[in-house]
Amino acid sequence: MQRRRRARTHVSARPRNSPTHPSPQISLKRGHRRPSAIHYQTFINRSLMASSSPVIALLSIKPNYANAILDGRKKVEFRKRPFKRAVTHVVIYATAPMKRIIGWFRTKRYEQMSPADLWERFATVGGISHDEFQAYFSGSESGVAIHVERPRRLKAPLALSRICSTVPPQSYKYLGLGVLKHFPGSIPALPPKRHLVKRPQSTNHKETSERRAEMKTVHRKRA
């Protein structure tokens, strides 16, 4: 008996209204049946983290800027490119010579615009000199301002190997929720899963059958 060949599907992620939500496009090879449609929200839930979950990124920052963020003097972090996902929390990795994770902060919002507009709006809270700003954005047509909220410093800096690989990211790297154990109280825990409460079953089968017969009689009288 020959086995029926399955129709091959190909899912290509193309940008939709939001850059973080790819739109699946299904293409079929000639001679195959059309498979059942893939629900868009189901595809998103399987491929991305739930919207209610925190999205954590490890950000490589120079020590002087990292300390300025944790001291509250730098309220905006400048980047050339935005995150591809809606990051809610940033773990700070201070680059050489420190090479340690020294704290974290929550992201309040993001603003993308030209470097000239970024400097005009956030020069007083950017914690960076104009020369350093110009050198960083040299050749870039746009940039991003990450608004810092609730910065917290670790009591004891962590080695990078404690939470991920020993290779620091050039810009940023997404982290799993397992890193939360290293930052107690920093990120709210996920809501507990809802469990179905089963009704207790009666062990007396005679009592159950009598109860059903009684309910049927009541319904007949009402009808």
Residues 33 and 79 in one domain: no
- Going by C-beta distance under 8 Å and a sequence separation of 6 or more, which residues neighbour residue 8? 28, 29, 32
Full residue range of the structural domain in which residue 18 is found:
12-47
In a domain, 104, yes or no: yes
Residues 167 and 77 in one domain: yes
* Alpha-carbon gap, residue 130 to 124, rounded angstroms: 11
Global pTM? 0.60
Instruction: Give the CATH number of the domain where residue 143 resides.
Output: 2.30.130.30
pLDDT in tens, 65-82: 999 999 999 999 999 999
In a domain, 165, yes or no: yes
Residue scoring higher pLDDT (220 or 187): 220
In a domain, 201, yes or no: no
Segment 2-12 shows an average pLDDT of: 48
- Identify the CA nearest to 142 among candidates 116, 124, 172: 116
In a domain, 122, yes or no: yes
CA torsion sign for 136, 71, 93, 49 is: negative
Segment 6-31 shows an average pLDDT of: 44
Residues 69 and 129 in one domain: yes
Residues 78 and 155 in one domain: yes
HSE-up of 84 (CA within 13 Å, CB side)? 9
In a domain, 42, yes or no: yes
Residues 22 and 87 in one domain: no
Q: What's the structural domain count of the chain?
A: 2
Residues 79 and 168 in one domain: yes
Tokens representing 156 are 């004891």
Tokens representing 8 are 């091959």
Residues 67 and 110 in one domain: yes
Whether the link from the prior residue into 97 is cis, omega within 30° of 0, is: yes
In a domain, 109, yes or no: yes
Residues 83 and 177 in one domain: yes
User: Which range, 119-128, 159-168, 205-214, is most confident?
Assistant: 119-128
Q: Which residue has the tokens 């893939």?
A: 38
- pLDDT value, residue 5: 53
* Residue 220 burial class via C-beta count within 10 angstroms: exposed 0-12, middle 13-18, buried 19 and up: exposed
- pLDDT value, residue 112: 94
Residues 135 and 82 in one domain: yes
Helix (H) / strand (E) element for 223: namely: none
Residues 80 and 41 in one domain: no
In a domain, 203, yes or no: no
Average pLDDT, the chain: 75
Span between the terminal Cα atoms of the chain, in Å: 55
Residues 83 and 39 in one domain: no
- pLDDT value, residue 222: 65
Residues 75 and 165 in one domain: yes
In a domain, 1, yes or no: no
Question: At 78, is the secondary structure helix, strand, or coil?
Answer: strand
* Alpha-carbon gap, residue 185 to 195, rounded angstroms: 25
